[in-house]
């Protein structure tokens, strides 16, 4: 997560006495944390995968086809939000994200992504993506009947 990298980078710069760069990193982290993550990224029960739903001219890496309109899975719940923060939290270093939202995001991602044979990392609906991408999403593990409750 970019926010975590900026926060830790600021800590490292602070330790070597680079106050000007530390301030720059902290300012960037604060802007990302507030206006981007907390205001635009929170979808009520999880953080969005992408802040901009527009696919632009993204290319399907398996087929080379251009994806138009909305990017499939832009609003999917996934385990990566918390993964980016886990190591820092384990050593007592918070990056200032609302802890209640993180708890809700983690619980929701586990509920939506955990399957009988493991975690699919994202609840992106495979019906929204091309057949070639589905193959990369562990297709058979995505069957709702396999969800562990």
Q: How far apart are CA 73 and CA 113, in angstroms?
A: 13
CA dihedral 101, 110, 134, 145 (to 10 degrees): -130
Same domain membership, residue 37 and residue 19: yes
Confidence of residue 147 (pLDDT cuts 50, 70, 90): very low
Which residues have C-beta within 8 Å of that of residue 60, sequence separation ≥ 6? 66, 67, 130, 132, 133
Q: How far apart are CA 105 and CA 99, in angstroms?
A: 10
Compute the half-sphere exposure of residue 106: CA atoms within 13 Å on the CB side of its CA: 12
Percent of the chain residues past pLDDT 90, beyond the cut = 21
Same domain membership, residue 110 and residue 65: yes
Domain range for 23 is 1-41
Same domain membership, residue 72 and residue 61: yes
Same domain membership, residue 91 and residue 103: yes
Percent of the chain residues past pLDDT 70, beyond the cut = 83
Q: Is the torsion defined by CA of 90, 92, 93, 95 positive or negative?
A: positive
Residue with tokens 């739903």: 53
In tens, the pLDDT along 69-123 reads: 888 888 888 888 777 787 888 888 888 888 899 899 989 988 888 888 888 888 8
Confidence of residue 35 (pLDDT cuts 50, 70, 90): confident
Same domain membership, residue 103 and residue 59: yes
Residue 134 has pLDDT above 70, yes or no: no
């Amino acid at each position: 997560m970019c926010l975590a990298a900026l926060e830790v980078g600021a800590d490292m710069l602070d330790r070597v006495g680079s106050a000007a760069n530390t301030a720059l990193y902290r300012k960037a982290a604060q802007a990302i944390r507030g206006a981007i993550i907390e205001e635009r990224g929170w979808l009520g029960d999880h953080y969005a995968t992408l802040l901009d739903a527009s696919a632009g001219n993204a290319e399907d890496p398996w087929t080379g086809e251009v994806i138009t309109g909305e990017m499939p899975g832009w609003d999917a719940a996934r385990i990566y939000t918390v993964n980016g923060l886990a190591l820092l939290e384990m050593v007592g270093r918070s990056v200032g994200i609302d802890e209640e939202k993180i708890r809700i995001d983690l619980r929701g991602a586990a509920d939506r992504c955990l399957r009988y044979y493991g975690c699919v990392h994202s609840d992106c609906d495979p019906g929204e993506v091309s057949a070639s991408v589905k193959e990369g999403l562990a297709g058979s593990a995505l069957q709702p009947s396999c969800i562990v409750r």
